[in-house]
């Protein structure tokens, strides 16, 4: 479970005592019409403030069927009138995403991978801007694989700005075992890339723009507190790793690259044996309590 904190291009302006979603892009105000192509919406074809102005929560997930089921679940939980099966897909005019509005909750699918969710988020945030929405919380809900691994070199976050002071700290050359029980719910406090850095790199023309992946820590604490009242599944706060590829990015073994990957794994095994010999000369500090999750 990951939640989003607007970056520097998005601003929360005061609006009648509330926080207005405002995109700091002066070109938007100069446009005669803004077509949200992949959502099948537009500023001229739809009255966005009337349709979405009361939105307070946006929940996004990969699968269209799953987000429809979530919308139907929220319809029941909120005690709304009518049959949840009659809900219409607002994005029915496009086959890219699905969108369902349930009272103050918006349920949207984002497909698979960073490019797909990036397109959806761009248009979603502009939608919230045009609809003059206030005090909006965006939460991603999705399945992930637990990362169970051992670091035998200095932890990659040792030189980063990730704050680990609330947990047992790791010194250089520490061994780190991390594993998550299947079925656990992980509330993301820090999103990291494949190098365990809390940042996202985007190539714009010939420039590499690095953006922080900072998340709302207060919301993480609030969600964790809510989970204490639900005992059906374990819930914890942890980091989420985002990769650009489902197979190689997650160190899986795709069939077409099977032999090469096996050879590489054997090489890494030999390297780790050497590292373990060096490791035995150092003191192992207490194991970090925060687990890691592969997204």
**Alpha-carbon distance 88 to 253, whole Å?**
40
What pLDDT is attached to residue 161? 35
**pLDDT tens track for 233-290:** 888 888 888 888 777 776 666 555 555 555 665 665 555 443 333 333 223 322 223 3
Under the banding of pLDDT at 50, 70 and 90, the label for residue 172 is: very low
> Average pLDDT in the 11-34 region?
76
Under the banding of pLDDT at 50, 70 and 90, the label for residue 105 is: very high
Q: What is the mean pLDDT of the chain?
A: 76
What pLDDT is attached to residue 263? 62
**pLDDT tens track for 81-104:** 999 988 999 999 998 999 999 999
CB 5 within 8 A of CB 189: no
Tell how strand 137-140 and strand 145-146 pair up: unpaired
| 31-52 exposure pattern, b = at least 16 Cβ within 10 A, e = fewer | eeebebebbbbebeebebeeeb
Checking if the pLDDT of 16 tops 50, the result is no
CA 76 to chain centre: 26
CB 162 within 8 A of CB 240: no
Coil/strand/helix, residue 195: coil
What pLDDT is attached to residue 270? 55
What pLDDT is attached to residue 6? 43
Please state, as a whole number, how many other Cβ atoms lie within 10 Å of the Cβ of residue 163: 12
From 155, 194, 134, select the one nearest 287 (Cα to Cα): 155
Q: Residues 6 or more apart from 156 whose CB is under 8 A from it?
A: 195, 196, 197
CB 48 within 8 A of CB 124: no
What would the two tokens of residue 144 be?
A: 């992930």
**Alpha-carbon distance 56 to 106, whole Å?**
8
From 154, 222, 217, select the one nearest 191 (Cα to Cα): 217
CB 291 within 8 A of CB 146: yes
Please state, as a whole number, how many other Cβ atoms lie within 10 Å of the Cβ of residue 224: 15
| Domain boundary assignment for the chain | 2-140, 145-294
**Alpha-carbon distance 228 to 94, whole Å?**
39
Tell how strand 292-294 and strand 235-241 pair up: parallel
pTM (predicted TM-score): 0.72
N-to-C CA span, the chain: 9
Return the CATH class of domain 2-140. alpha beta
**pLDDT tens track for 204-230:** 999 999 999 888 999 999 999 999 888
What pLDDT is attached to residue 12? 53
> Average pLDDT in the 181-203 region?
87
CB 161 within 8 A of CB 283: no
- What sign for the dihedral angle of Cα 113, 181, 217, 284? negative
**Alpha-carbon distance 77 to 94, whole Å?**
28
**Alpha-carbon distance 265 to 293, whole Å?**
21
From 156, 237, 153, select the one nearest 190 (Cα to Cα): 237
């Amino acid at each position: 479970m990951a939640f989003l904190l607007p970056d520097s291009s998005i601003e929360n302006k005061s609006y009648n005592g509330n926080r207005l979603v405002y995109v700091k892009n002066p070109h938007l105000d100069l446009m005669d019409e803004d077509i949200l192509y992949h959502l099948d919406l537009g500023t001229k074809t739809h009255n966005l403030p009337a349709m979405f102005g009361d939105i307070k929560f946006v929940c996004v997930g990969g699968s269209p069927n799953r987000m429809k089921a979530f919308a139907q679940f929220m319809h029941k939980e909120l005690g709304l009138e009518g049959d949840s099966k009659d809900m219409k897909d607002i994005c029915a005019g496009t086959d890219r995403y699905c969108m369902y509005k349930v009272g103050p909750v918006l349920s949207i699918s984002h497909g698979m991978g960073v490019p797909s969710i990036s397109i959806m988020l761009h248009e979603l945030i502009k939608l919230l801007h045009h609809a003059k929405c206030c005090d909006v919380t965006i939460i991603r809900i999705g399945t992930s694989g637990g990362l169970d691994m051992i670091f035998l070199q200095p932890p990659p976050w040792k030189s980063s700005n990730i704050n680990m002071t609330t947990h047992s700290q790791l010194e250089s050359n520490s061994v780190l075992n991390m594993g998550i029980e299947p079925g656990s719910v992980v509330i993301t406090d820090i999103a990291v890339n494949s190098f365990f850095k809390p940042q996202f790199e985007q190539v714009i023309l010939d420039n590499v723009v690095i953006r922080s992946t900072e998340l709302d820590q207060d919301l993480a604490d609030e969600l964790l507190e809510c989970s204490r009242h639900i005992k059906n599944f374990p819930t914890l706060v942890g980091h989420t790793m985002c990769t650009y590829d489902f197979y190689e990015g997650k160190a899986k073994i795709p069939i077409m690259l099977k032999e090469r990957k096996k050879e590489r794994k054997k090489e890494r095994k030999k390297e780790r044996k050497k590292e373990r010999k060096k490791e035995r000369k150092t003191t192992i500090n207490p194991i970090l309590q925060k687990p890691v999750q592969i997204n």
